Structure 1
Amino acid sequence: MKNRIKLVLLMLLLAAPMLVSGSMYALQLGIPEKQVARGALLPDLQPLQQWPLDWQASGEWWLVWIADAPCQATCQQLADQWWRVHRALGREADRVYRLRIEMAVNESRPLTEALPGERVVHWQGNAPDWAAPGQTWLVDPEGRVVLAYDADAPAADLHRDLMRLLRVNR
């Protein structure tokens, strides 16, 4: 009888985590709401290859952002901010490229000067409603938008998300 009690107690001890997690799920109590990605997920956004740009991306990670045309002081400040985030990636920086998209009023307008390691391109035609100056996207090597950030998003959030993506996707 003593051995049976020990066996039942051992089975209860081993089943306890399953019982607790099942009751947490059923009652929706104590479930952590930790947020991993700080950017917005936009799975319905078309791939970068389908954007009306006067240039097409190859298979690398891209930090893409829209600059106002012509590039004013806030635009230059954002360009510098994303350059600093890119440099903060350390040895992973060579896996990520920066792309500045300037909304072209007319295509004859010259592009503003790019910072080192940055490519500047024109947006062909009218901007869609989902593209606004200052917005930033992380684009994977297949051209899919992984995360989107508003103009006022902290650079540290984008840096954390980008480091995590690069660590997970070797």
Structure 2
Amino acid sequence: MMIAINSVNRQRIKLVLIFVIFSAPIITAWGMVEWRIGVPEQITAHGSPAEQLPLLEHWPVETVSKTDVGEDQWTLAFDCSVKCAERRDILWRMHRALGREAHRLARLSIGGGGQALPGEQLARWEGKPTWRKVNSVWLIDPQGRPALSFPASVPVADILDDTQHLFKVNAR
């Protein structure tokens, strides 16, 4: 026994199919969000926002050596109190790894001693601010506002990744 599909039933089937086709993505997206299925666990920033830090000009530091810092340059400030020579060298290599964008970054080594590496300023802490953490790295925007803070445990490759991302989204 065959069921005859008349014109009215055919139109109803088309309407149901159109409803299913257009509602399936919404139902799928809701399920992905609700049950966390198929949602990538991608990390976009390795550093934490440095909202609580004062502007760079208000930091308790005394500049020892000066280099020219342009108006549109970001600053990579780092506390150089432990393994200073090694830390300065690895951050200098990270700076070089920026390639064509290296001119957009200046480095500020706070603490330690020795000669300044190319593109680096040397400074000393005048006090011990409460927000300072040993061997931390701070990425500061051209206006002097701290953008990201990296604890000593963050690999330099992750600092480089975040710096490149900020340069990409903050094109001149």
* Secondary structure in 2 matching 1:64: strand
TM-score, length of structure 1 as denominator length: 0.80
Rounded Cα–Cα distance in structure 2 between residues aligned with 1:161 and 1:77:
21
Which structure 2 segments of 5+ residues have no match? 1-8
TM-superposed deviation, 1:28: 4.2
Task: Name the residue aligned to 1:9.
Answer: 17
Moved more, 147-156 or 49-58: 49-58
Moved more, 137-146 or 157-166: 137-146
Task: Name the residue aligned to 1:120.
Answer: 122
Larger Rg: 2
**Number of matched residues?**
157
TM-score, length of structure 2 as denominator length: 0.79
Which structure 1 segments of 5+ residues have no match? 104-110
Identity level (%): 37
Task: Name the residue aligned to 2:5.
Answer: none
- AA aligned opposite 2:80: A
Q: String of CA shifts for 1:32-88, please: whole Å, max 9, x gaps.
A: 3321111222322222232123359755211110112xxx7x201111100000000
* Secondary structure in 1 matching 2:110: strand
Rounded Cα–Cα distance in structure 1 between residues aligned with 2:132 and 2:99:
29
* Displacement over 6 Å in runs of 4+: none
* Secondary structure in 2 matching 1:91: helix
Q: String of CA shifts for 1:74-116, please: whole Å, max 9, x gaps.
A: 201111100000000000001111111127xxxxxxx632101
1:59, 1:143 within 8 Å by CA — same for their partners in 2?
A: no
Rounded Cα–Cα distance in structure 2 between residues aligned with 1:158 and 1:101:
18
Rounded Cα–Cα distance in structure 2 between residues aligned with 1:9 and 1:146:
50
